[in-house]
Structure 1
């Protein structure tokens, strides 16, 4: 690689990662009325990215093998910013949400380069762990059947799932499993990225299923619970799971379904972590008393949640504690109805500290 291409690669990587961090900043703090202010706070990181991408077509040396993935990731980020800018101009909040959906597509395109570009490797770790050289070195030679993969048809297909297994997986130890359920309009392919940094950093396997229907089975026949059990068994047959650390979590409709399915007497999950979820006290009243007794549940909710007001979470915590569950509650004053990715690591630390016997 000549000096020019090396310099351009460094510039492009920096611009791309910076723009991705800006998208994450907006997504984490998005409350639709605040979007103009958020856009003002991040400035225009897409301008530097657009200029750096323009030079990709001139690459001729070894860096050319990186071009397709950098271009795909960069183009997704630019599309995301275009939608966000249009949302500010038109007042159409749906365009903002469409724009933010480009971020996980960019992450998916970029992730394979973590194995060859140290800045990308560090980017996919939690910020507090990016200085850990030993951890970074563990990704150099991936074990077989590790990394990001998909099962059950095309990525994001109904009833299928996306999976992350840490590249340093070894069968000589057991590994916690997180089954993370997307929100009502999402899919497992994109929701996986809410957990990837934490899973890489702390050593956990993450499965992100896609609902059988348009959203999780919150009414009518429940086809999702048997599918979740099937997915868990499929993963357990191939990788060595910790039977005392099987977490069911989810966002919004996914969080609500983690209550509905996870409180079933036959649920195989040892821990629950609903985020921004709806809850009715009847869920606790109707749940099996033995299932609820000492069940670890980590509830996360935003004080600014405009879809499911925070009083709903406070009610859930009271009802679950009264029923005998072991409840941790994190109320976030600056969170609206979105997923706080920094909580993934905190939930994993909570899970690590509270192993319990597998149900049944």
Structure 2
């Protein structure tokens, strides 16, 4: 790599990573009443990124893959920030904010192939493990076969497909925990994959992010999603060594609610449920398979500031499921609105791995 190319990377990459972190901050702290304050705290890293973007213009052809990835990630990050700025300036609404934040997973997907660069690899490691020398060594090694990111029938706008991630240091000589993560009502699996990828990569879990077969998950009417999840699970278990005692079904908002709908059925293959920002009707507890509920590990996460599904719903759910015999772990997050709190993933994985007991 030439000195000129290295200089350009050094100029662009820190600004790009900071812009992505700022977009993640907005996504985590999004609250309609506080949007202006959140944007002020997020700052203006996009202005610096816009200023250094021309450094990507003239590169030797042999470095084209690096240039292409950096340009695609930079363009997506800047588009996301532009959408947020428009709403900040009074041009748009909350739906516009959600549209703008869809550029964040696109930027991450574009950047991930550059994990050969240490700063990029570090970005995709959970912050508390970035100094872990053993993990760094595993991730710096040549990837094993059948690892990395895969997409099957999961292009934007499609339904029923899935995206998945297998840690690059996966080996088939042991069984690995599996996380099936369900997106929210307006999302898709390809985007939601990035809500979990850092932790799956850092802590060693196979990650699947499917897309609903309909406009959202089958919360009413015929359940076309559970058979599709089983199909995907069969496909993955046929190719990778999955631990059948650590099969987690989790999800955000509608995805979290569907993890109840599907996961409380007596025929469910999932061993653990972890709904986030979900709603729950008391009839669901009455209709659930009683034997299935008895001793079932359930990890509920909800924000005190949730404006879509008030926290009282989650508190009631904790009581109903505990009374039915489930082993419920309950986490309320004081500053969380109706957003996905990536910081809870580490605790959920420790719980899945049996590293601490559930609490009522």
TM (normalized to structure 2)?
A: 0.96
Alpha-carbon contact 2:154-2:163 (below 8 Å) kept: no
Report the CA distance between 1:95 and its aligned residue. Answer: 1.5
The answer to whether the Cα contact below 8 Å between 1:2 and 1:61 also exists between their aligned partners in 2 is no
User: Any stretches of 5+ residues in structure 1 without a counterpart?
Assistant: none
Aligned to 1:246: 247
Quick one: distance in 2 between partners of 1:319 and 1:156? 37
Q: Note the C-alpha offset of 1:42.
A: 1.9
1:15, CA displacement in angstroms?
0.7
* 2:328 maps to 1:327: yes
SS of 1:12's equivalent in the other structure is helix
Tell me what 2:126 maps to.
Answer: 126
Aligned partners of 1:65, 1:289: CA distance in 2, in Å?
54
Cα offsets for 1:264-286 (capped at 9, x unmatched):
00000000000000111111111
Partner residue of 2:66?
Answer: 66
User: Alpha-carbon deviation of 1:55?
Assistant: 1.4
Which residue does the alignment assign to 1:80? 80
Query: Residues 1-360 of structure 1 correspond to what in structure 2 (within 5 A)?
Result: 1-60=1-60, 62-90=62-90, 92-114=93-115, 116-139=116-139, 140-152=141-153, 154=155, 157-353=158-354
Alpha-carbon displacement from aligned partner over 1:285-339 (angstroms, at most 9, x marks no partner): 1111110000000000000101000000000000000000000000001000010
Query: What 5-or-longer segments of structure 2 have no aligned partner?
Result: none
Post-superposition Cα deviations, 1:93-128, rounded to whole Å, max 9, x if no partner, equal: 2211111110000000000101x1001001101001
Aligned-residue offset at 1:154: 3.3
Q: CA RMSD in A?
A: 1.5
C-alpha displacement at 1:228, in angstroms?
Answer: 0.6
Cα distance between partner residues in 2 of 1:208 and 1:321: 28
Which SS does the other structure have where 1:249 is aligned?
Answer: strand
Q: Is the 8 A contact 2:182 2:256 kept in 1?
A: yes
Instruction: State how far apart, in whole Å, the 2-side matches of 1:153 and 1:178 are.
Output: 18
Query: Structure 1 26/154 Cα, relative in aligned 2: closer, same or farther at 3 Å?
Result: closer
CA distance in 1, matches of 2:216, 2:154: 18
- Quick one: distance in 2 between partners of 1:99 and 1:38? 15
Q: Is the 8 A contact 2:249 2:273 kept in 1?
A: yes
Q: Which runs of 4+ in 1 moved over 4 A?
A: none
Change (3 A) 1:7 1:76: same
1:355 CA drift (Å): 11
* TM-aligned CA distance change 1:233 to 1:156, over 3 Å: farther
Equivalent residue of 2:243, what SS? Answer: strand
Secondary structure of the corresponding residue to residue 353 of structure 1: coil
Deviations 1:18-56 (A, max 9, x none): 110001111100001211111111221001111221111
User: What is the SS of the residue equivalent to 1:337?
Assistant: coil
> Cα gap change, 1:238/1:69 in structure 2, threshold over 3 Å: closer, same or farther?
same
**Given the two structures, how large is their TM-score scaled by the length of structure 1?**
0.96
Cα distance in 2, alignment partners of residues 80 and 339 from structure 1: 18
Separation of aligned partners in 2, 1:51 and 1:129: 32
Tell me the CA shift for residue 153 of structure 1: 5.4
